[in-house]
Amino acid sequence: MKTEVENYNPIARLIHWLSAIAIIGLFAAGLWMVDLSYYSEWYRTAPHWHKSIGILLSGLTLIRLVWKSVTVSPGIEGNTLEKWAAKIAHGLMYIVLLILFTSGYLISTADGRAIDIFDWFAIPGAGALFEGQADLAGEIHFYAAWTLIILAGLHAMAALKHHFIDKDNTLRKMIGASK
Ligand code: HEM
Ligand code: HEM
């Protein structure tokens, strides 16, 4: 039998907030870096960092999902519609993250190269798996990134609405301060 909990556990909270910061940073850095000129000192470094942090985040997300499946999460608050909307939004964010990781990998490895993670280790590339891979994966990556940021924005607004208008524990349980 599962025991009820009031807060997300500390590891789930840490991963949630670290991931949120990484995702917002990756989004801003992604939009900025694609317009850099060859002569910018960031031309190589920015994509290297973007890919390294993106791959590390994909590993963290895998750990997050395993952790979520072996621990208990607190219940979602609000009316039936809000509970469903929250569940669908959470699920969609995980799915869109998966699309971002896959498309990011496919853009980066289309030319046969591996992905170096901060010069610590490398993820092998599978080379070109289909025609026009870098372009198609790039388009998907772009739209997926916008989809995730819009979903996360709505999600954050919902959390603030629960906190300031409904005055319930929704936001507190992600900070570890449920009353
Ligand atoms: C949450 C995760 C991620 C977010 C939010 C994100 C976001 C973005 C954004 C907004 C762009 C600019 C797209 C454009 O304007 O065309 C971009 C480009 C790019 N991203 Fe990501 N990204 C993520 C993960 C990854 C990962 C895991 C990789 C690689 C393993 C990756 C590799 C790339 C590459 C190579 C580009 C350049 C694409 C091009 O030259 O058109 N990204 N990313
Ligand atoms: C890129 C940004 C973000 C992403 C991708 C994201 C993603 C998620 C996901 C997937 C969950 C569900 C956790 C689970 O698996 O049980 C969640 C829960 C939560 N997030 Fe975020 N989040 C982001 C930013 C934020 C921000 C900025 C806030 C606050 C303003 C926030 C507040 C919360 C709260 C309160 C919950 C718990 C909801 C509940 O269980 O009722 N998140 N988030």
Q: What is the pTM of this model?
A: 0.94
Q: Does domain 10-175 have CATH number 2.40.160?
A: no
Residue type for position 66: V
Distance from residue 155's CA to the centre of ligand 2 (Å): 7
* Beta-strand relationship, 115-117 and 121-123: antiparallel
Q: Can you give the pLDDT of all 179 residues of the chain as single tens digits?
A: 457 899 999 999 999 999 999 999 999 999 999 999 999 999 999 999 999 999 999 999 999 999 999 999 999 999 999 999 999 999 999 999 999 999 999 999 999 999 999 989 999 999 999 999 999 999 999 999 999 999 999 999 999 999 999 999 999 999 999 88
Task: Retrieve residue 44's tokens.
Answer: 């190589």
Q: Closest ligand 2 atom, CA of 160?
A: 30
Distance from residue 88's CA to the centre of ligand 1 (Å): 24
Q: Which ligand is nearest to the CA of 162?
A: 2
User: Which pLDDT value is given to residue 54?
Assistant: 98
Residue 4 Cα distances to 52, 66, 74, 77, angstroms: 37, 19, 7, 14
Q: Which residues, in sequence order, are bridge partners of residue 121? A: 117
Distance from residue 178's CA to the centre of ligand 2 (Å): 15
User: Which pLDDT value is given to residue 76?
Assistant: 96
User: Which pLDDT value is given to residue 30?
Assistant: 98
Q: Domain residue spans in the chain? A: 10-175
